[in-house]
Amino acid sequence: MNLKTMLLFFDNFEGKSLDEQQRIACILNDCDLEIIAGAGTGKTHTLLAKAEYLIEKEEYFSG
């Protein structure tokens, strides 16, 4: 899966659209990732989207 195949997911994750940097943070999984941003910029939303992306990708299982 990549940005193009997950376009609908990223365009409407919990009613909000992720920007390009947030989308990249969601799909990167081969390195450590540190999200640094100011208040109200979507850090928690990005991490929730990443968790859901990994579950949908079946790389990690919720149970």
Per-residue pLDDT of 15-50, as tens digits, reads 999 999 999 998 888 778 788 889 999 999 999 999
CB 53 within 8 A of CB 9: yes
Higher pLDDT: 38 or 63? It is 38
What pLDDT, on the 0 to 100 scale, is given for residue 45? 94
DSSP bridge pairs for 16: 13
Structure tokens at 26: 């969601």
| pLDDT of amino acid 17 | 95
Read off the amino acid at residue 4.
K
The CA-atom distances, in angstroms, between 54 and each of 6, 37, 38, 62 are 12, 22, 25, 10
Supply the pTM of this predicted model: 0.79
Q: What is the pLDDT of residue 48?
A: 94
